[in-house]
Amino acid sequence: MIRLIINIVTLVVLAVFIAMNVSYETSINLFGFKYDNISTVAVIIISLVSGVLYSFFYYLLTYISKSEKLKIRNKNKQTKLKEKELKTKEKNIHKAIEEGVKDSIPNNTDPVELELAAVGKKKKIPLKLFKGKKNN
């Protein structure tokens, strides 16, 4: 912004210097309309002002465009962070559900089922050991 102001001041000083030293008249053609005997100083000042206005609007539009792009980037970053956070929360919820299901399943505390499970775990003795002795 400071650079723009410095350029404007420099151009105004230059235009004043030219205006004080030139007293000629000229004719201009503006989009098909011809104007005769217009002061050269007026043409210079009009050109200067239109150039300054153009550069100001160009600078303003560029600034707005950059700020909008920055806002969009920040929103994208926030969206990605929220997405990661939601994925981790979803994983935690699934883990909590699985743990809740495991906790809700009843343990085998019935004595009959415990005995059956214990018997099923015992080693079976081979049949050879139970065969009787042969009498000769």
Q: Would you give per-residue pLDDT tens digits along the chain (136 residues)?
A: 788 888 888 888 877 777 776 677 888 888 888 888 887 777 877 888 899 899 999 999 999 999 999 999 999 999 999 999 999 999 888 888 888 877 777 665 666 666 766 666 655 555 555 555 555 4
Helix (H) or strand (E) holding 93: helix 40-104
Q: Which residue has the tokens 């883990």?
A: 95
Closest CA to 1 of 91, 63, 75, 83: 63
What are the pLDDT digits (tens) for 23-53? 778 888 888 888 888 877 778 778 888 998 9
CA distance 22 to 50: 20
Return the bridge partners of 28, or none. Answer: 35
Let me know if 19 is exposed, middle or buried by CB neighbors in 10 A (0-12, 13-18, 19+).
Answer: middle
